[in-house]
Amino acid sequence: MAIDLDMLGYVAATLTTIAFVPQAVKTIRSRETGAISFWMYTTFTIGIALWLAYGVGLQSWPIIVSNTIVFPLAAVILAFKVRHG
């Protein structure tokens, strides 16, 4: 039985994106970032940007789509942390 790697990528990307979005939305709505580590979120946001670039380089749509959704959310939360943190 062969595994469809694109389908595996889409499922993984969907699950990790869905897991991140509710917390991101809550943080964006409340603008409460006191419990968030600046350095963790800086590293995370840069990592997401690099994953997006990697996905573009590979032309891997699961990587591109998920990181296109997560990157702006992470960047906004990081901006709130810088501004209000």
Q: pLDDT by residue (tens digit) across 24-83?
A: 999 999 989 999 999 999 999 999 999 999 999 999 999 999 999 999 999 999 999 999
| pTM for the predicted model, two decimal places | 0.86
Q: Is residue 26 part of a domain?
A: no
Quick one: pLDDT at residue 18? Answer: 94
Q: Is residue 30 part of a domain?
A: no
Contacts of 18-24 spanning 24+ positions with Cβ under 8 A: 20/70, 20/73, 21/69, 21/70, 21/73, 24/70, 24/73, 24/74, 24/76, 24/77
In the three-class reduction of DSSP (H, G, I as helix; E, B as strand; rest coil), residue 41 is classed as helix
Q: pLDDT by residue (tens digit) across 35-44?
A: 999 999 999 9
Number of continuous H segments (helices) and E segments (strands) in the chain: 3, 0
Number of domains in the chain: 1
Q: Is residue 25 part of a domain?
A: no
Q: Which domain holds residue 52?
A: 5-18+35-84
